[in-house]
Amino acid sequence: MDQLVQKALAARKNSYSPYSKFAVGAALECGDGTVITGTNVENASYGLSICAERSALVKAISEGKRKFKRLAIVTDSPEPAAPCGMCRQMLIEFAPSLEVILANLKGKSEVLRLSDLLPKAFRLG
């Protein structure tokens, strides 16, 4: 198993998902090789919840990271799950050609480019 996927799998264990019961782990590989992990954190006011992908991205940005190579996402869904639209939009701001590895607990995985997941993305400049 890819080391980035293993880190996302480990991050998934920290999920706070009492409402959806849908735990997600993410691991974001930065341009310098650093890996920042994130997990989903839900809230009783559902709109205040944050996805694992954005959790990792915001942590990385707060540490001064701005370049990203790969993102691994691990879920317990029958098929590997892709990031939501909000996560795609936030990620594309920094890394349109980001490699995205989707994986599940059953060992299925798929590798895509973020630009394929969000064609014709909204961008300024």
Q: Is 48 helix (H, G, I), strand (E, B) or coil?
A: helix
CB atoms within 10 A of CB 90: 17
CA distance 114 to 5: 17
Is 79 one of the annotated active-site residues of the chain? no
The alpha helices in 1-125, defined as continuous H runs, are: 3-12, 52-62, 85-92, 114-117
Active-site position among 29, 42, 53, 93:
53
**Which residues form the catalytic set?**
53
